Every structure is written in structure tokens, then in C-alpha cells.
Amino acid sequence: MEFSVPVEEVEAEINRVVADLQKKAKLPGFRPGKVPASIIRGRFENEIRQDVLESIVPRIFRAHAEKENLQVVGTPGMSDIHFHKGEPLRFKVEFEVAPDFELGQYRGLTVPYAEPQLTSEDLAARLDQLRDAKADYVNVDPRPVESGDYAVVSLHSLAGIEGEPISNDEMMLHIGDAETMPEFNEQVTGMEPEQEKEFAVQYPENYTSDRLSGRLVTFRLKLKGLRRKELPELTDEFAADIGDYKNMDELREEVRKSLLAERENAAQSAAKNKLIDTLVDTHDFPLPDAFVDRQIDMNLEQRLRELTMQGVDPRTLKIDWEQARSLQRERAARDVKASLLLEKIADREAIETLNDEIDREIHRFSKQMREPAAAVRMKMEKDGSLRRLASRIRTDKVLNFLFEQARKVAAEPEPEAAE
């Protein structure tokens, strides 16, 4: 947009800036506050120009944006500035606005969904997990390591890791287990207590730890002893040890409810993600670059926090930030579009976050953090997380609404692979 500011308004702003500089300027031969305006205009021409622009341009632009009800996003850019004595101030402003779009269909969307079912095998597997958590590990007499043993070892990395080396004086490896790296299974099998060995382990590119992913790491391992796992029996005493349960029947019922709730949450979450994909795919409107860039920043910052929590110093990584941002753009654009759509649906359906809903979450946080609810609220207001919490609750309510309104159909079977 192009703007023109009358000469009288520009001169009034120049006079105001000059008067302010007169109060502050300290020049040889003049007492403070007594420097003539003509000298101020000559000595501080560039400063006056900059101050006038920084005052007039935002004010004129804001007034126009409010009058036209423009939802400006990002920082506007100014160009083609014509600022000459005795002439109107003229300039152009380039800016982005939040997209104005029409909502298409969002009620009654079709989504694959089936109510989760539990089998006796599912319940038995979850009970086995509880038994495993209460297992005892009993020392066994010295002998060579066999598959299935639990080997107590000290493990230290010698090469292949940047930064802090791996060092653990006592850890337990389940030899022969699928979760144990093949090199450890192979090298430790047959070892005897007090024996030491050095060997290399090649970690796959998709390994869960970024610190080890794709690396060839050399370790020194010492076998300290062997243990045997002993699982408790499923008795009423076991139920009482797990929690406030009178007998195994009560524990089984609670486990059944918990497992069913987990599967319902997972199934509904998957269905809601498909509903979001459908909304994004069926709505086409331009997105402000400022929104997408901000989403990319948030995604990258989250990734860096995850690396830090895994013990990786991001500064040691050779990251091509331009490429990283480029790879994030498509995903970030879909996230932004989904967010705008959900906000529009919330407005259309008058879905809001209630104070009671925020209070419940704050009290839950206060119990976890063992701090007074008032103190937690104050922290969240200060760091902006209270606003994000309210937004998340609203989004969850919109997704629940979309799921309730959706037409659930049986999921199509996966196509069989050609032989």
C-alpha cells in the first residue's frame, strides 16, 4: 500500500523531534537546553529523519490497518521513501495479512474408525508387564554367559562418540534378547565373570538415540556377574503389592479398564489426525510466510531441545540450517493451515475454553510440580504458557467435536504385497 503524509503533519513531527533533541543535546559553547533549533537541524539531520520515520510510519499504518480491519501478521516492510523538505512524506508498505477464507464441509466427515477390542491375550500381556516390573534378579554361580542370561557389566566407550563418553560401572544386559544390539549378544556370550573385552558396535541410522545413530562405537566391557530373573506369581498378595486392590479380580478389572482407555485414546487420536488431514486437503487458501516461518522455528527449536535432553550438544552438529528449514516447510505449512481451520471452526461453533477447564489443568500441574496452584498460575502467566494451555484446550474441544460429528466407517484392509 502507498501512503502520503501532508507537509503540515511532517513539519509538526520534525519540530517535536527537534525540541526533544534540544533538551538532550550537549554542544560546546551552549548551555544544556539552549542550543538553537537551526543548529540542531543541521548537526542531527540523519537522526531527525530516522526519528520522524520511526514515529510517523507505524502510526499512519496502524491507523489505516485498524480502519480497514486488516489482520496484519509479521513485520511490515517499508520502501520507496520520499522525504524532502517542504514536500509530503510518501512511502510504500508491504505486509502480510491473515487469510480470509470460507469454511467448507467440516461436519459429517468420513473417517476410518473401529471401537478397540481386548482379548484375554492382551490382558495377560499387560499383567506380565506388571510382573516384570516387580521381578527379582538373583545372582547365579559363576559360569560362561548363555543366551537368556542377564549379564551385569561395566561399559565404557573408547572411540566413536563426540563429546562426553559413555561410562557405566554397572549395567545389566539381557543376552539374546531382540532389544539387545547383536554385537553385544555375540561378544558377551561365552564370557566368564571378571573377563574383559574390547569390541566395536555399529549402530543403525534409525537408532533411537541421535548421539549413537549411524556411529561405529568402540567399547571396553567387563563381565561382573550373572543374574536370573524371577517373576512373582499372580496372587492376591501381588495385587496388594501393585496398589490398593483387595484381590486379583480387582486388579484384572482395573488393568482391563486402563488398557481399553489407552487403546480408545490411541484410536481416536489417529482418527482425529485423519480428520485434520481431510480438512487441510479440502481447503485451499494462501498462507502468510510469517506464519509458516514461525512454525518452522518452533519445530526446529523443539528438535534442538530433544537433542539436548538426549545429551547431544547441538553446537557440535554440522547442521545445514537452510536445508533444515527447507525440509520443514511443507510440514509447517500443513500445521499452520490446520491451526487456522480449527480456529475458524471454533469461532463458527462458539467453542471456547472455560475457566474451570484451565483451573483443572493448573491443579494437575501443581500436584505434579508439588507447588501451590497460585504459584503455578503466576509462572504460566509470566512465560506465556497459560495462553498456550487455553489454546490447546480449545483445540482439543474442536477435535472432539469433529470426531463426534464424523461418520465412522470400517478401515479398509491393507493391500496384500505382490509376490
What is the pLDDT tens value at each position of the chain, 419 positions in all? 899 999 999 999 988 888 888 887 777 777 777 778 888 788 888 888 888 888 888 888 888 888 888 777 767 888 888 988 889 999 998 887 888 889 999 999 999 999 999 999 999 999 999 999 999 999 999 999 999 999 999 999 999 887 789 999 999 999 999 999 999 999 999 999 999 999 999 999 988 887 888 999 999 999 999 999 999 999 999 999 998 899 999 999 999 999 999 999 999 999 999 999 999 999 999 888 888 988 998 888 888 888 787 777 777 777 788 888 899 999 999 999 999 999 899 999 999 999 999 999 999 999 998 999 999 998 888 888 888 899 899 999 999 999 999 999 987 655 554 44
Residue 350 pLDDT: 94
∠ CA 245-247-250, rounded to 5° = 65
The answer to the question of residue 15 being in a domain is: yes
The answer to the question of residue 72 being in a domain is: yes
The answer to the question of residue 288 being in a domain is: no
Are 296 and 329 contacting, i.e. CB atoms less than 8 angstroms apart? Answer: yes
How many alpha carbons lie under 13 Å from residue 361 in its C-beta half-sphere?
17
What is the C-alpha R_g of the chain?
33
User: Residue 80 belongs to what domain range?
Assistant: 2-97
Q: How far is Cα 188 from Cα 198, in angstroms, rounded to an integer?
A: 11
What DSSP string describes 193-260?
TT-EEEEEEE--TT-S-TTTTT-EEEEEEEEEEEEEEEPPP-SHHHHHHHSS-SSHHHHHHHHHHHHH
Residue 223 pLDDT: 97
Q: How far is Cα 310 from Cα 303, in angstroms, rounded to an integer?
A: 11
65-119, pLDDT tens digit by residue?
888 887 777 678 888 889 888 899 999 988 878 888 899 999 999 999 999 999 9
Residues 143 and 93 in one domain: no
Residue 417 pLDDT: 46
Residue 409 pLDDT: 93
Residue 381 pLDDT: 87
Helix axes 248-282, 385-405, angle to 10 degrees: 90
Q: Which residues contact 341 (CB under 8 A, 6 or more apart)?
A: 103, 106, 279, 280, 283
> Of 42, 73, 97, which residue sits at a domain end?
97
> Of 213, 230, 247, which residue sits at a domain end?
230
pTM: 0.68
The answer to the question of residue 174 being in a domain is: yes
Cell of 154: 561395566
Instruction: Provide the CA 334 distance to its chain's centre, in angstroms.
Output: 15
Residue 412 pLDDT: 65
Compute how many other C-beta atoms are within 10 angstroms of the C-beta atom of residue 306.
12
Q: What is the CATH number of the domain that holds 69?
A: 3.30.70.1050
Q: How far is Cα 354 from Cα 360, in angstroms, rounded to an integer?
A: 10
Q: What is the CATH number of the domain that holds 205?
A: 3.10.50.40
Residues 93 and 142 in one domain: no
> Of 183, 198, 230, which residue sits at a domain end?
230
Residues 79 and 141 in one domain: no
Residue 418 pLDDT: 45
Cell of 77: 516492510
Q: How far is Cα 345 from Cα 104, in angstroms, rounded to an integer?
A: 10
The answer to the question of residue 278 being in a domain is: no
- Report the number of distinct structural domains present in the chain: 2
Q: Which residues contact 381 (CB under 8 A, 6 or more apart)?
A: none
Compute how many other C-beta atoms are within 10 angstroms of the C-beta atom of residue 96.
18
Exposed, middle or buried by CB within 10 Å (0-12, 13-18, 19+), for 290?
middle
Residue 392 pLDDT: 92
Residue 80 pLDDT: 87
The answer to the question of residue 388 being in a domain is: no
The answer to the question of residue 241 being in a domain is: no
The answer to the question of residue 91 being in a domain is: yes
Cell of 181: 544390539
Residue 26 pLDDT: 76
Are 45 and 18 contacting, i.e. CB atoms less than 8 angstroms apart? Answer: no
User: What is the end-to-end Cα distance of the chain in Å, rounded?
Assistant: 62
